[in-house]
């Protein structure tokens, strides 16, 4: 079939564009079964049905079109926009992920030289920026599930690729959350499996440093995951209550103020152990964390999160006190000062929170005036310049969004 020409649409193709706008998946499915509907047809502006669906934020429609062979990297659009760019502009992370899973190139630029991540940042869709910048293709990991060279067996058993990929793709770097991800998959709660996984993470880290356009951010993330997996391994081998003991250690607050100092020290250690000392990102991280007394802002977690995901710690959302998930809506009913994403998380936290819960109640109104969000804002400010510097080093994407938030 000849390549579609802009604006050269059949009646059914015009109809499907309207159906997409209305979000009628059933009708779209019917139309796609027609011979005179080309899934990659182009309207007057060079937009495909997939671009329309992505821009309108219709996830089911996008899925349907991809199933019918929609070309995710088509860039016949008059300004060179791709479906991934439209997904980013729509602010829908599920659609952005869908495009990436379908093989969307993140490096394609529009007619003014902007990538999808840069465009999403420009319009303030920071969650989509995070999704794009943290994307790591399953194929890249699956390389290790095949024996290479003289290897008798692959470095990574194929059955571990799925669960490990899930951990790589998480944008919540809270170590408790990561241990929970390990715990939820019985295949991973195994000494030999964890050993293989962390070794592969180390290799990926090395690869990210040594590849042509060195990606320090991804390298640091791979290294950090490796450290968490190694910690899991240690607890599996040495403690009777295994990973539960690790979660407890990470959550346990110190007596004076409930600050989880084991967690803070663990994350600081991970950063310090990054094996490539010359990395700009490492030096900047260390510089901004080292002078901070343990217990003060910014925490190592917030600095690392900002550097790796570009997420600002003070965006308007409540975080789960246990696992760091955003959008936590359940409050401790006694002190009402801590929030959780689930009952499970609240239960996990109670052994240590109960010591602080009473004093929180007593302080009552005093705490109201010092909301954690404001405290974070102060702490965040002085790390911003370094994140920008780090990002300018390779494709400055996050700083865009960062500046936007500040200006």
Q: Which of residues 201 and 323 has its CB atom nearest to Zn ion in the complex? A: 323
How far apart are CB 127 and Zn ion at their closest, in Å? 18
CB 353 within 8 A of CB 376: no
Cα 276–277–279 angle (5° rounding)?
75
How far apart are CB 25 and Zn ion at their closest, in Å? 33
How far apart are CB 333 and Zn ion at their closest, in Å? 8
- Partnered with residue 319 across adjacent β-strands are 326
Q: Which of residues 32 and 332 has its CB atom nearest to Zn ion in the complex? A: 332
- Prior bond of 261 cis (ω within 30°): no
Q: Which of residues 84 and 313 has its CB atom nearest to Zn ion in the complex? A: 313
Q: Which of residues 120 and 348 has its CB atom nearest to Zn ion in the complex? A: 348
Q: Which of residues 179 and 357 has its CB atom nearest to Zn ion in the complex? A: 357
How far apart are CB 361 and Zn ion at their closest, in Å? 7
Q: DSSP characters for 248-264?
A: HHHHPPPTTT---HHHH
Place of tokens 């209550």: 241
CB 183 within 8 A of CB 243: yes
Q: DSSP characters for 198-230?
A: HHHHHHHHHHHHHSSS--HHHHHHHHHHHHHHH
How far apart are CB 175 and Zn ion at their closest, in Å? 13
Q: Which residues bind Zn ion (CB under 5 A)?
A: 320, 322-323, 325, 332, 334-335, 341, 345, 357
Q: Which of residues 194 and 321 has its CB atom nearest to Zn ion in the complex? A: 321
Q: Which of residues 6 and 373 has its CB atom nearest to Zn ion in the complex? A: 373
Helix-, strand-, coil-residue percentages of the chain, each rounded to 5: 60, 0, 40
Q: Which residues in 344-369 are b (16+ Cβ under 10 Å) and which e?
A: ebbebbeebbeebbeebeeeeeebee
How far apart are CB 250 and Zn ion at their closest, in Å? 13
CB 50 within 8 A of CB 62: yes
How far apart are CB 171 and Zn ion at their closest, in Å? 15
**Counting Cβ atoms within 10 Å, is residue 223 exposed (0-12), middle (13-18) or buried (19+)?**
buried
């Amino acid at each position: 079939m000849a390549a579609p020409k802009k604006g050269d649409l059949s009646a059914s193709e015009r109809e499907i564009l309207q159906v997409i706008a209305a979000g009628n998946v059933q009708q779209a499915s019917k139309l796609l079964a027609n011979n005179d509907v080309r899934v990659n047809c182009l309207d007057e502006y060079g937009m495909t049905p997939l671009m329309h669906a992505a821009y309108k934020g219709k996830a089911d429609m996008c899925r349907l079109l991809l199933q019918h062979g929609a070309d995710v990297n088509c860039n016949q659009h008059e300004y060179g926009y791709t479906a991934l760019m439209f997904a980013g502009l729509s602010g829908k992370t599920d659609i952005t992920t869908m495009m990436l899973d379908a093989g969307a190139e993140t490096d394609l630029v529009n007619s003014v030289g902007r990538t999808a991540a840069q465009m999403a940042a420009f319009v303030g869709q920071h969650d989509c920026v995070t999704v794009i910048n943290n994307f790591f293709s399953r194929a890249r990991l699956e390389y290790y599930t095949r024996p290479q060279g003289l290897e008798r067996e692959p470095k990574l058993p194929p059955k571990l690729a799925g669960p490990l990929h899930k951990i790589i793709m998480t944008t919540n770097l809270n170590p408790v959350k990561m241990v929970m991800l390990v715990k939820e998959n019985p295949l991973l709660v195994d000494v030999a499996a964890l050993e293989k996984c962390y070794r592969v993470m180390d290799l990926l880290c090395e690869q990210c440093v040594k590849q042509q356009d060195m990606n320090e951010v991804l390298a640091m993330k791979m290294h950090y995951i490796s450290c968490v997996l190694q910690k899991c391994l240690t607890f599996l081998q040495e403690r009777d209550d295994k990973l539960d003991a690790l979660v407890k250690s990470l959550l346990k607050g110190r007596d004076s103020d409930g600050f989880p100092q084991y967690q803070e020290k663990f994350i600081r250690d991970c950063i310090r152990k990054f094996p490539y000392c010359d990395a700009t990102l490492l030096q900047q991280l260390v510089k901004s964390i080292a002078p901070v007394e343990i217990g003060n802002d910014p925490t190592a977690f917030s600095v690392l999160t900002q550097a790796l995901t570009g997420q600002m710690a003070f965006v308007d959302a409540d975080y789960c006190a246990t696992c760091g998930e955003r959008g936590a809506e359940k409050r401790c009913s006694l002190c009402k000062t801590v929030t959780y994403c689930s009952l499970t998380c609240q239960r996990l936290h109670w052994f240590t929170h109960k010591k602080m819960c009473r004093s929180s109640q007593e302080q009552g109104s005093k705490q109201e005036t010092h909301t954690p969000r404001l405290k974070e804002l102060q702490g965040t400010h002085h790390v911003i310049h370094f994140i920008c510097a780090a990002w300018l080093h390779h494709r400055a994407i996050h700083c865009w969004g960062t500046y936007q938030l500040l200006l």
